[in-house]
Structure 1
């Protein structure tokens, strides 16, 4: 069956949720307590060891195959307008995000700011912090980086929604 990356990731989440729920259910039902004199069979939770293990193995196999299919798609599918693969884009976007955050902090500075505290205590000495860069250049780089980040995110969203790959459950 053909899946887009977005669909495959939804399926991956569903399989992971089912796997976690089954592990949790097994944890709560594989052993139990009963009080002295209590009818053990009346408090025994339903648990089929063989059936549970078989389903867990089935889910593990499906998860491995699906993750592999997604990884292959991510390492071979080129993102339009960028000339890089999805897996490279998944590194590039956090790099842009980090750069944008740094530039935001830098562009928010005043050219000269008074330092109120020094080493955690008040001081009679007045210190100033000066920017050692061109604020206009930083603002321009911030806008450029912000635009590039938006363009990269939209391009990745597009390829994840449009292009598909084969996966057999």
Structure 2
């Protein structure tokens, strides 16, 4: 079976929903209540094949594992267009950039001089930045642009590249 990474994610989600329904079925049918006045519990027992349900869950888990493994292999062997990094490396880079972006954007939004608020009535104090704010702003903008660039290339790969899954 050939799938795009997006298609694989949708299939994983669909299988997860199917699995959840089977778990719900176990939760609902694993026990049942019969009042004494209702009659013989064996005649009122709901249809439920525990073994078949567990086998179906195992089959879904096996399919999900195979899809995720194939996607992981794809991610570690497929290069992003116009980049010298794999999809996996790009995902790690995106996480790093996203983590750092907020910090440097905050540094770029600071004022060169900020009055300190103190509770005692003494001398007025100021905190001064010890770096070039414009440089921090540029660094934040550059990170943001790089995030957008990599995300665009990841979107292209995720929606147009295919990989094989043996289900």
Q: Can you list the C-alpha shifts for 1:37-58, whole angstroms capped at 9, x where unaligned?
A: 3343676443211210121111
Structure number having the greater strand percentage: 1
Q: Secondary structure at the match of 1:124?
A: coil
Q: Which runs of structure 2 are paired with 1:62-73 in the superposition (5 Å)?
A: 62-73=63-74
Tell me the CA shift for residue 84 of structure 1: 0.8
Q: Which runs of structure 2 are paired with 1:44-123 in the superposition (5 Å)?
A: 44-117=45-118, 122-123=119-120
Q: Secondary structure at the match of 2:36?
A: coil
Tell me the CA shift for residue 103 of structure 1: 1.2
34-43 vs 72-81, which deviates more?
34-43
Distance 2:43 2:126 in 1: 76
Q: Can you list the C-alpha shifts for 1:22-65, whole angstroms capped at 9, x where unaligned?
A: 11221221112333333436764432112101211111111111
2:121 is aligned with 1:124: yes
Q: 2:160 aligns to what?
A: 162
Distance 2:140 2:48 in 1: 58
Please give the TM-score of this superposition, normalised by the length of structure 2.
0.90
Distance 2:16 2:84 in 1: 32
Q: 2:34 aligns to what?
A: 34
Q: 1:144 aligns to what?
A: 142
Distance 1:109 1:43 in 2: 72
Instruction: Verify the 8 A CA contact 2:109 2:137 in the aligned structure 1.
Output: no
Q: 2:13 aligns to what?
A: 13
Tell me the CA shift for residue 70 of structure 1: 0.6
Q: Can you list the C-alpha shifts for 1:97-131, whole angstroms capped at 9, x where unaligned?
A: 111111111111111112225xxxx3324332221
User: What's the Cα RMSD here?
Assistant: 1.8
5+ residue gaps, structure 1, are none
5+ residue gaps, structure 2, are none
Tell me the CA shift for residue 142 of structure 1: 1.2
Distance 1:36 1:115 in 2: 76
Please give the TM-score of this superposition, normalised by the length of structure 1.
0.89
